[in-house]
Amino acid sequence: MTYAPVLIALGALFLVGLAADAIGRRTRVPRVTLLLLCGIVAGGAGLDLIPARLRDLYDVLSVTALTMVAFLLGNALKGGTLRRHGRAILSVSLMVVLTTVALVAGGLWLLGVPAPVALVIGAIATATDPAATEDALRQSGARGSFARLVRGIVAVDDAWGVLAFALAMVVAGGLAASGGGSGGETGHPGHLGDALWEIGGALGLGLLIGLPAAGLTGRLSRGEPQLTEALGVVFLTAGLAVWAEVSFLLAGMAAGAVIANRAHHHERAFHEIEHIRWPFMILFFVLAGASLEPGRVAEFGLVAGGYVALRIGGRLAGGWIGGTLAGAPAAQRPWYGVALLPQAGVAVGMALIAAREFPDHGELILGLAVATTVIFEVIGPLATVLAVRRSGRG
C-alpha cells in the first residue's frame, strides 16, 4: 500500500502526457508548456497532488531525460552539418552568450544589484533548456537548415555558458574582495579549473563511451541499436558523469556526436531513444513544473522583470549579431535568439553554486533563477515554435 499513491500518480501523469500531446497537436501549443502548467497546478504551489516519494525522483528523472536529449542533440553535430553550418553554430552560440551576460549584468547593476551579484546572474542567464527546445522543434516538424542550426547551437551553448559562469564567479569574487560588491565570500581561482574539468572531463567521457559504442552497438538488429543498448549507453553516460562531477549534458552530446559520426553501419544513431524518451520527458516536465513557485516572481518585482526583459534582449541581439557575422540567411537572423529562450535546470544548478559562494545574496540569486524559470519555461517553447514558423522553415 505504501507505493499505491506513487503508482496512481505515475499512471495519471502518463495520461496527462497523452492528453498534452493530443492538445498540442490540435492547438499548436507546445507540449512542454502544457506539461509545465499541469505540474504547477498539481504541485506545491497549486493543489499539492503529487506524492513526496515521486517528487524525490525528480533529480534522477531529470538527469536521465536530459542525457537522452543530449544524445539526440549530439546527432546534430555530424561532420557534414558542421562543415556546412559550423561557422554559424559557433558564431551564434558565442554571441548569444556574450550579449546575454553583458546586457543582463549591466542592466541589473543599473537597477541597483551589486556588481558581483549582477555579473553572476548575467552568467546564469546564458543557460538554455535543451529538452524544451528540442521538443518544441520536434513538435513543430521543423527539419530544415534553421532547425539543424538551432539544435547545433543548443548542443554547444551550455559549454560556453559553463565557462562564462566560471569566469564570472572568479571576477565577481575579486570584485567582492576589493569592495566592488557587498556581502559575499570571495571567489576562488579554482572555479576556472572546475569549469575546465566539467567541460573537458565531459568531452573525454563522451569519447570514452562513444568510441566503443560506435563500433559495438547496432550489430544485432539490421544496423539499428536495440533499445537495451541505447538505454545502457544513456544510463552509463549519465551515471559516470554525475560520479565524476562533469556535465552530463556535454558528455551525452559528445557521445552522441561520436556515435553519429563513427557508426557508419547505423542508419540513424540511437533511433530507439526517440521512442522511449517521451515517458521520461513527461515525468521530467511535470515534476519540474511542480517544483516551481510562480508566486516568488512577485517578491523580486522590478529585478525579476528587468532580468526577463534583459535576457530576452540579449538572446535576440546575440542571435542577430551572430547570424550576421556567420552570413546566415537574412530571414533567419532575427529568429535565432527567439528560438533559444527556454531556461531550466542548468540555470538553477548554477544559481545553487552561486548562492553558496555569495550567501548574503543567496536568496536573491536562487529565488530569481527559480522564479523566472517559470516564465521562460512557459513562453520559451512557444517562442521556439514561433521562430520556426517565421524563419520560413528553411
DSSP 187-215: P-THHHHHHHHHHHHHHHHHHHHHHHHHH
Buried b (16+ CB within 10 A) or exposed e, 36-58: bbbbbebbebbeeebbeebeeeb
- Residue 17: partners with Cβ closer than 8 Å, 6 or more residues away: 31, 35, 278, 279, 281, 282, 286
Q: For the whole model, what pTM was predicted?
A: 0.65
Assign 182 a pLDDT band (cuts: 50, 70, 90): very low
pLDDT score for 311: 93
DSSP state of 77: G
Residue 104: C-alpha distances to residues 123, 324, 334, 353 (Å): 8, 22, 19, 19
- Domain edges within the chain: 4-390
pLDDT score for 307: 92
CA angle 102, 254, 260 (to 5 degrees): 125
Amino acid at 294: P
- Least confident window among 69-73, 79-83, 227-231, 268-272: 268-272
Rounded to 10 degrees, what is the CA torsion of 110, 113, 118, 121? -120
- Least confident window among 27-36, 177-186, 248-257, 264-273: 177-186
pLDDT score for 82: 63
DSSP state of 186: P
Residue 119 has pLDDT above 70, yes or no: yes
Residue 189 has pLDDT above 60, yes or no: no
Hey, is 176 helix, strand or coil?
A: helix
- Residue pair 341/101 in contact (Cβ under 8 Å)? The answer is no
**How far apart are the C-alpha atoms of 97 and 104, rounded to whole Å?**
11
Q: Give me the sign of the Cα torsion angle 316, 321, 322, 327.
A: positive
**How far apart are the C-alpha atoms of 148 and 328, rounded to whole Å?**
13
| Residue among 247, 257, 203 at smallest CA distance from 77 | 257
Q: Give me the sign of the Cα torsion angle 138, 140, 141, 142.
A: negative
Alpha helices in the chain (DSSP H): 4-27, 31-42, 52-55, 58-74, 79-110, 115-124, 130-140, 145-177, 190-216, 227-244, 248-262, 271-291, 297-326, 336-339, 345-357, 362-390
- Residue pair 326/56 in contact (Cβ under 8 Å)? The answer is no
Into which CATH architecture does domain 4-390 fall? Up-down Bundle (1.20)
| pLDDT, tens only, 214-229 | 777 655 555 555 677 7
